[in-house]
Chains A and B, each alone.
Chain A
Amino acid sequence: MIFPVRLRNSRKLRIVTFAFSALLFGGLSPLAARAQFLHPKITSKEVTVRKIVILPAKVDVVRDSMKGPEGMAAESEELSGRVERAVAGVLGDQKHINTLSAPASSPASADAQGKYTVADIQTKFDELLAKVMKKRKDVKKGRFSMGDEVLNLNVDKTADAIVFIRGRGQKLTSGKKTFVMLVGGMPAYLIMQIGIVDAHTGDLLVYTDPVFAGDPTTAVDRLRKALEKGFKKLPAISQ
């Protein structure tokens, strides 16, 4: 027996059942933005993000089969580019934010020092991200910053913010799909972690982690919708 007898057919039961169903539906919904946190400078409109530079995204997916996960290096590379473009598209269309070209966007031609600088800043973000994940709510307190070392990237002087994108996901083989349906387990998904950092001070202005269920290598619409949800709280700039 799940509920006590006295609750049966009562209003309380209906409320509890509704709440439970809503939770279940929410959890299994193919589109869900898990959290969005804004720095007080954004909420108080002390800082407005009008122009951004997106650093190369690092999105990795694996193919999960019955024999375990297999790498998808080429697909991950392609997906990284797609997520980068989707973020630029969503921020442009919904929030009217312009995306400027990134430093050393063609790493093959970039000099070693420039490549190291980008790599080191990306690493610094990864280190900060680990701390952010421990207490994401503290973004609202303005606790996290990468410091003014971000200036070493020498991005376009008009840029207000730098966007860092991380992601991981998995697609399932048909065998694994059947297994998941019968026995349970993680479905195909993509989870992204996106940080928007002040290009002058290094403060983490926005943190969001959109997620969607579905094959990350093909679900283009779901990716866009998840990103739209993910940036919902970010105020749009007036044109």
Chain B
Amino acid sequence: MSSLSILKRGRSLIIRLFCVSLLTSVCGVGPKGTATAALLRQDQTQTTIKPQSPANEEFKFEKVDLELLEQVNLLDRRFEREGLVLDDQATVAYLNRVGKSLLPRGLKLENVSWNFRALRDPQPNAFALPNGSIYVSTGLLALMDNESQLAAILAHELTHVLRRHSYLQNRSNRKKFLTMNIIAAVGAYAPGGVAGAVITIATAVAPFIVIATMYGYSRDLEREADLKGIDMMLAAEYPPEEMVNVMRLLNKDIEGENIRFFYNDHPALDERIKYLSSYLGARADVVTPQMELNREKAAYFRKMEPAMRHDIQLSINGGRFRSAVFLADRLVDFYPDSENLFWLAEAYRTLGPRTEQLAEKELTNSAKKDAAKKREKRTVEEEERELLATPAGQENWKLHEKKAEELYLQATTRENPVAVAHRGLGMLYEKLGRSNEAVTEYQKYLELAPAALDRERIQKHVEALRRTP
């Protein structure tokens, strides 16, 4: 194309160039994508790890890397200070045990101190900071089925740190003219809720790191982390096919939202499942007794139960009501004690007039986009009011309030009943206009939990209900 015609098409070309550069940098497609496609075709027959990054011993720290390290250390502290990290010792100890079991013995890396933490975030995600801090969201912890899947996630993240992917990506991004625009684009797509908070903080503290760690590295680096992760799993006696299974779990779109985190986008999950399955090949045939143990669901659920319950609360707070029902249902299936029953009841009460699962037509791209636009504008209360004005919404609400009531009542009558079940019943009855019953349940709650944090709030509800005729 002549330079004259380029000038004539200047505007559209600039827009196109911007889009291509954006995709190249954020998703690793474009020219690089062509190479990846060729590699993937090769994968159909035989997949091998071709290191895309230097081995850690070859890595030499430069000024720019040390600056990044300093910012990242501050990021860690800020996550903690702002209450974004789950402060549960048992969960943290478990994450550290699994994470450290994947590392080669005696390994020491310059400027790396391993820390495995749970992030209070209902969106399924995980990321690694170059200083060795690895965060797994409670949303992801609650979604997984066994320890091997957790090991798969951690092995992937560990590879990013071991291979210094963040530093490499940071150096590369700084050279790119359009980084500013990418960051602006990332900011525009930042989801709400805790995940949004994490991204906002990260964008401010270490703008370059947000692209790589939370939205994905280049496609080649992601691929390297996936394949190296499988080797690490095998070495630690975790069944490697669980890496593929966890990818399938992440493919579930319970909320009908485009999760723009790398597990979904970098590269596409279907593609990752394909090359991972190809790489597994005969590796998946090796089964040791330890591997069988690591696949056990009950053991994982026992360890993760507190984090899972915490995540249900976060899901409800974040308006992810369908996820809350899905996760609470899994917990009740596992162990139907009064606390788990309470959480399922809470999930149904707050689900209100919504459907329990999205219909197929709601999962199309255009429907998801429409829903996302509405979510941006409408408050949860407005959405509920709109739905309750429809016969389908009313029917859903009737069904869910009935389920919630039954579950709350079971939670109050089981062994070791939980006081909060009375509060839940009170809220349900209040919404149904059964004022006297609501007051009775609230009072029971206040008697059983005199030091509750929400005491003042519940007392105000009681006073208001007493005032109403």
Contact = CB atoms under 8 A, between A and B. Distances in A.
Given A68-B173, A71-B207, A119 B453 contact: no
A45 to B, nearest CB: 23
B457 A127 contact: no
Given A126-B192, A152-B453, A68 B208 contact: yes
Given A119-B120, A124-B317, A148-B457, A76 B192 contact: no
A130 B376 contact: yes
Given A62-B204, A73-B74, A126-B196, A68 B179 contact: yes
Nearest to B208: A68
Interface stretch (B75-83, B221-229, B248-256, B440-448): B75-83
Contact of A149 (B173, B314, B457): B457
A117 B321 CA distance: 20
Interface residues of A, number: 47
Nearest to A148: B457
Contacts of B207: 62, 68-71
Given A60-B201, A113-B453, A131-B378, A71 B206 contact: yes
Contact of B453 (A73, A131, A154): A154
Contacts of A200: 460
A60 B194 CA distance: 17
B74 A74 contact: yes
Contacts of A148: 457, 460-461
A181 interface: no
B84 A119 contact: yes
A134 B204 contact: no
Interface string A207-223: 00000000000000000
Nearest to B173: A68
A60 B187 CA distance: 13
B454 interface: yes
A221 to B, nearest CB: 24
Given A69-B180, A123-B193, A131 B379 contact: yes
A162 interface: no
B204 A152 contact: no
A18 interface: no
Contact of A70 (B67, B78, B192, B381): B67
A116 interface: yes
A123 B317 contact: yes
B180 A61 contact: no
A130 B71 CA distance: 27
Interface in B132-156: none
B454 A151 contact: yes
A112 interface: yes
B40 interface: no
A60 B200 contact: yes
Interface residues of B, number: 46
Given A148-B460, A151-B454, A73 B71 contact: yes
B459 to A, nearest CB: 9
B87 interface: yes
B377 interface: yes
B32 interface: no
B73 to A, nearest CB: 9
Contact of A131 (B317, B376, B454): B376
Contacts of A74: 74
Contact residues of A: prevailing secondary structure: helix
B377 A144 contact: no
B234 interface: no
A11 interface: no
Contacts of B204: 60-62, 71-73, 76, 168
Contacts of A130: 192, 196, 376
B456 A151 contact: yes
Given A73-B74, A127-B192, A152-B454, A116 B208 contact: no
A67 B205 CA distance: 16
Contact of A67 (B174, B183, B460): B174
Contact of B78 (A73, A120, A124, A143): A73
Given A70-B207, A119-B83, A151 B317 contact: no
Residue from A58, A62, A108, A123 having most chain B Cβ neighbours under 10 A? A123
Given A60-B205, A73-B78, A112-B87, A126 B197 contact: yes
Given A68-B174, A152-B457, A116 B196 contact: no
A126 B456 CA distance: 24
Interface string A119-148: 110111011101100110000000111001
Given A68-B174, A117-B453, A151-B454, A135 B379 contact: no
A135 B200 contact: no
Nearest to B319: A127
B468 to A, nearest CB: 16
Contacts of A77: 78
Given A123-B193, A134-B376, A71 B71 contact: yes
The 10 closest A-B CB pairs, nearest first, are A119-B83, A60-B204, A73-B74, A151-B457, A112-B87, A115-B83, A68-B179, A71-B71, A71-B205, A73-B205
Interface of A: 56, 58, 60-62, 64, 67-74, 76-77, 107-108, 112-120, 122-124, 126-128, 130-131, 134-135, 143-145, 148-149, 151-152, 154, 168, 200
Interface of B: 67, 71, 74-75, 78, 81-84, 87-88, 120, 173-175, 179-180, 183, 192-194, 196-197, 200-201, 203-208, 314, 317-319, 376-379, 381, 453-454, 456-457, 460-461
25 contacts: A67-B174, A68-B173, A71-B204, A73-B204, A77-B78, A107-B82, A107-B83, A113-B453, A114-B453, A115-B87, A117-B453, A119-B82, A120-B314, A123-B194, A123-B196, A126-B193, A126-B197, A127-B319, A130-B196, A130-B376, A131-B377, A134-B376, A145-B379, A149-B457, A168-B204
